[in-house]
Amino acid sequence: MSSCCSEDQCGGVELARAGQARVLYWVLALNAVMFGVEFTAGWLVRSTALVGDSLDMLGDALIYGVTLFALHRGLLWQARASMFKGVVMLLFGVVVFAEVLNKLAHGLPPLPGWMAVVGALALAVNTVCFALLYRYRDAGVNMRSTWICSRNDLVANSGVLVAAGAVWYLDSMWPDIIVGVGIAILFLNSSRGVLRDAAQAATQARAGA
């Protein structure tokens, strides 16, 4: 299959990729900063949900970096990048489950006020990231898997806020644990879908080579 394109077509592709790269640099920086803020807060206020959500932020920062790496490469590299993202999601799901088990063994109820404040800040940041990535959700398997990560963030952030309210109302650590389990399941389910799509894209790339 020929990879040639006209000057106008190639110029349009490069402009589109440049736009994607700018967005990815922004969301990478936002997620890296929020990881530091949210992980520190989660550790200090004893919140499994916040720690899990912060790992999601770290995973996203890594994922955006890999997406940038694959952006100007061929379809096979983009499929490999998506596979990496799926593996990262899988690993973080396992880590959050381990934190849940540790909390069950030794945990105390988290501080709901700080949970709510940090969770609301994370939700605001991820809403910006989601809006920036939305237009690129169908721009190939590489950008689509990145958009899925951003969509997951909104679900996880909303869960943290719900957990904070329930912890405050019930004076119990169980809402925090339940949301932590939900975030872990979200990681694992998304990992399965991203890895499936990446495997299909890799097969198509090899067939078209």
- The answer to whether 163 and 176 are in contact (CB under 8 A) is yes
- Token digits of residue 80: 């490999």
> How many angstroms from the chain centroid is the CA of residue 155?
10
Which pTM was predicted?
Answer: 0.71
pLDDT by 10s per residue, the chain, length 209: 444 444 333 343 454 567 778 888 888 899 899 999 999 998 888 888 888 788 778 877 877 787 777 776 777 777 777 788 788 888 888 888 888 887 788 777 788 898 899 989 999 998 998 888 888 777 666 677 777 777 878 888 888 899 899 989 988 888 888 888 888 888 888 788 878 878 887 888 777 75
Supply angle C-alpha 23, 132, 5, rounded to 5. 55
Domains of the chain: residue spans and CATH: 7-208 (1.20.1510)
